[in-house]
Amino acid sequence: MEPIEEHQIYVHPHHVLKKDFYVYLDTVLDDYPKWRKGQAVFNLMYYMFPEIANKYRGSDIDPFHNDENCEKFVNVCFEEIEKVRTQDGDS
C-alpha cells in the first residue's frame, strides 16, 4: 500500500470541511487508481486525522475493506471533528 505523499495535499486539518474532504478524495483517487474508494477514504482520513481514523479501524464502519461504509465513516468522523473544533473554540 502506497502512503499518501505529503506534497500532494496542502491542508491544515482544523480548516477541512466535509465537502473539502471529498474534493481531496477525488485527488487521491486520481493519484492512486489502484485503490478502491474505501481504501482511499480511510487512508485520507488517516492522513488528515489519524487519531479519529484509528478509532474506527476494524470497526463495523471501517471502509477500508467495504466501500459501502464510506459515507457512514466520513459522517461519523466529521461529527467527532466538529466536537473537537467546538471544544477548541474553532467553530
Cell numbers representing residue 40 in the block = 482511499
The pLDDT tens digits for 35-77 are: 999 999 999 999 999 999 999 999 999 999 999 999 999 999 9
The predicted pLDDT at position 12 comes to 60
Name the pTM for this structure.
0.83
Cell numbers representing residue 8 in the block = 500532494
Cell numbers representing residue 66 in the block = 467495504
Q: How far apart, in whole angstroms, are the C-alpha atoms of residue 80 and residue 28? A: 23
Calculate the average pLDDT of the chain: 86
Flag whether pLDDT at 4 surpasses 70: no
Q: What percent of the chain has pLDDT over 70?
A: 81
The predicted pLDDT at position 7 comes to 43
